Structure 1
Amino acid sequence: MPVPCSAKCGKNAVLKRPKTGDTLCKECFFWAFETEIHKTITTGNLFQPGDVVAVAASGGKDSTVLAYVLKLLNRRYNYGLKLLLLSVDEGITGYRDDSLETVKQNRDDYEMPLTILSYKDLYGWTMDEIVKQIGRKNNCTFCGVFRRQALDRGAAMLKVNTVATGHNADDLAETILMNVLRGDIARLQRCTAIVTSGEGTIPRVKPLKYTYEKEIVMYAYFKRLVYFSTECVFAPNAYRGHARTFLKDLEKIRPSVIMDILHSGEKLSIREGTKLPTRGTCTRCGFVSSQPVCKACVLLEGLNSGLPKLGIGKSSKVNRLRNEAVDF
């Protein structure tokens, strides 16, 4: 039996929103989805008229929907933004080479300039080469650190005002869980921020911060957007995967758990007097770091010196290994 649209537009519903439980027709779902992202942008004061915004594009559902919606909202509400796509080629055969073809399709469909930076050009290594050295246990550490800095490098090169990433509510809830489990209070304090930046770095914003992953998939499906959905070949061993599985199990019991964790993370406070790392700039590359030498430079040093595990673990361990290498 047909279910009427909760918005009382007179049409039959085609979906039930995981976020609110409302039953909506396609048109009302599109409007609700887009309006909520617009509210996130305006409430968070993410952009200013005239800003040049780089959309971090991977070809996946999140960045594809983000690029599409930002273009739509920019026109609908006259944001006055210049939008472009910025992609990072990690050098993962059978994954990133295929996803970049989707990014190029997004470039053509949305008429946005595209810039692609590669690990090979930036660091002299591809992820395929790194995995041969480090194995599959800690490869995501290298990839995550290098990708974050690669986006900073690309943003600086393009002279943009801000970088928009496709992090959604599910991503942030997973990150909060990971930081709680690791006891990483410094990252826990930063991970829920809708705007993140460090000294001398270009701000990053999260327009999809309060958007459920399931609704992003539904929006892309009903809009018939082209996106890449294959999982990274190196991802099955990632720590995030265990947090994601745990979160999905919780969601089956309590559908609101994603937003509950997100709001809890926002409200968590650090005890007064707790010493936190001071974010500055790396003495080698000049990009943001809480240590004299940033994680990317330490990891790269390890690869180039034949000590691929040099940057894995705590700073004290890293410094000891570096000293031992020098003494040897």
Structure 2
Amino acid sequence: MAPALCAICKVSRALIIRPKNHQKLCKACFIAVFEAEIHHTITSTSLFSPGDRIAIGASGGKDSTVLASVLKTLNERYNYGLDLVLLSIDEGIKGYRDDSLETVKRNAVQYDMPLKIVGYAELYGWTMDQVVETIGKKGNCTYCGVFRRQALDRGAKMLGIKHVVTGHNADDVAETILMNLLRGDLPRLARSTSIVTGDETSEVRRSKPLKYAYEKEIVLYAHHKKLDYFSTECIYSPEAFRGSARSLIKNLERVRPSAILDVVRSGEDMARLVPEEVTGVSHCKSQKTSLSSADGEDQGAGGCGTNGRNSGGEMAEMEKKLQQDEEAAGREIDISALSNNANGQRHDRIETKPEPRKAAKKDVGRKLVRQTLGTCRRCGYMSSQEICKACMLLEGLNKNRPNMQIEVDGEEESSSLRKGMGEMALAAG
């Protein structure tokens, strides 16, 4: 059997089957299509303006490494006029972050970009190793997530930069949507679906240029471009709730490759139903790109059973479910189709009386409070609360800090001194 040709150029041999839609492409066309889709996402959502200084949240992993490489390429190709800087956060996880930071340092040389590293110990007086030692592995990702978001913004502020880009991909966004949906947190779901967090008036705004890029395609891009990246998972992440959402997303992708973007699209649709007074996000500004145009391909391609990726058991279960749905449909009664007589009474024997809503009185006059961005009275960091989440978490940690000696830069210092360092760092803002 003759080898398949690339679906785009029709000349070169196809080497890659796109996970997004199972399109067969050669290496050169895949790289070109991938970069073109990222360019379309950037231009259609007006993420950048000429002359912007952009901090790339660099962890050394595949996502941030690909983001740095693509932004450098597109910035030179399309003359964005951006000043790109790498910004890394050192959480203080031995055997993981210290190794990945070495990759970031190499990337800074390879891409000819300045590098700024900000550490948890510097900002908060705690490393993640110490946090986990104090609270255990359950719930530690909450601490790391809150600290990391604030550390990125603070690092950008140190550099005088007002825009940070992160390597969140379509898989990450779909996982976040599921997590917030399962928690019933629609306001946060609405904010998480936005490609941009904050606006021109914000001290620091964050954006996700890889929002519609599949994780598998990011790996393929990094492989074929021979990028230098760190591939080890965080040693504390298996305990996170996100891991359960990730497993569910991967299982859905096996049955239907377009499921990831379908979940993202559903999240965006739900976000439009959440009032702006609750989210503080303008839907028309944050959701400019439609998925049908962002991915550049037909979303229906690569559905169930494509290329024999599904097992017979999965298909048998789906056949059985469809048959049960058809049988159930035959037993349904269409209430709207029942006719009424002249007196407004139904001719059938079914009599239904609409029950009054018990919660109707509570809904009347209910005011939705819009979140107002201010500053934390302790650390001066931007927050919608009087005291930001990071300070609340630090307060609990400092109360439970054991009286132990901590080694820093080869010297030991007491926990009380370290606590004072953390408070001074927070006060400095």
Answer whether TM exceeds 0.5 for this pair. yes
* Mapping for residues 66-85 of structure 1, pairs under 5 Å: 66-85=67-86
1:258 matched to which residue of 2? 260
Counterpart check, 1:305 vs 2:307: no
Paired residue for 1:278, among 359, 371, 374? Answer: 371
Partner letter of residue 187 of structure 2?
A
Asked if the contact 2:58–2:65 (Cα under 8 Å) also holds between the matched residues in 1, the reply is yes
CA 120–277 in structure 1, closer or farther in 2 if over 3 Å, else same: farther
* CA distance in 1 between partners of 2:372 and 2:145 (Å): 18
Offset of residue 184 of structure 1: 1.1
CA 121–189 in structure 1, closer or farther in 2 if over 3 Å, else same: same
Offset of residue 19 of structure 1: 1.3
Q: Per the alignment, in what secondary structure is the counterpart of residue 115 of structure 1?
A: strand
Report % sequence identity. 60
* CA distance in 1 between partners of 2:239 and 2:231 (Å): 18
1:321 matched to which residue of 2? none
1:241 matched to which residue of 2? 243
* CA distance in 1 between partners of 2:68 and 2:369 (Å): 35
* Mapping for residues 111-190 of structure 1, pairs under 5 Å: 111-190=112-191
Offset of residue 8 of structure 1: 2.9
* CA distance in 2 between partners of 1:112 and 1:140 (Å): 30
* CA distance in 1 between partners of 2:62 and 2:368 (Å): 38
Offset of residue 275 of structure 1: 3.4
Offset of residue 155 of structure 1: 0.8
Partner letter of residue 143 of structure 1?
C
Q: Per the alignment, in what secondary structure is the counterpart of residue 3 of structure 2?
A: coil
* Mapping for residues 313-328 of structure 1, pairs under 5 Å: none
1:317 matched to which residue of 2? none
* CA distance in 2 between partners of 1:65 and 1:201 (Å): 26
Unaligned runs of 5+ in 2: 278-365, 403-429
1:218 matched to which residue of 2? 220
* CA distance in 1 between partners of 2:268 and 2:16 (Å): 30
Partner letter of residue 208 of structure 1?
L
Higher alpha-carbon deviation: 198-207 or 214-223? 198-207
Q: Per the alignment, in what secondary structure is the counterpart of residue 91 of structure 1?
A: coil
CA 274–60 in structure 1, closer or farther in 2 if over 3 Å, else same: farther
CA displacement, residues 202-240 of structure 1 (integer Å, 9 cap, x when unaligned): 111111011000000000000110100101010110000
Partner letter of residue 51 of structure 1?
D
2:234 matched to which residue of 1? 232
| Alignment RMSD (CA, Å) | 1.6
Asked if the contact 1:186–1:277 (Cα under 8 Å) also holds between the matched residues in 2, the reply is no
Q: Per the alignment, in what secondary structure is the counterpart of residue 163 of structure 1?
A: strand
CA 276–225 in structure 1, closer or farther in 2 if over 3 Å, else same: farther
Paired residue for 2:384, among 290, 300, 313? Answer: 290
Question: So what's the TM-score if we normalise by structure 2?
Answer: 0.70
1:100 matched to which residue of 2? 101
Q: Indicate the structure (1 or 2) with the bigger Cα radius of gyration.
A: 2
* CA distance in 1 between partners of 2:99 and 2:24 (Å): 36
Offset of residue 291 of structure 1: 1.8
* CA distance in 2 between partners of 1:287 and 1:13 (Å): 51
Q: Per the alignment, in what secondary structure is the counterpart of residue 116 of structure 2?
A: strand
Question: So what's the TM-score if we normalise by structure 1?
Answer: 0.91
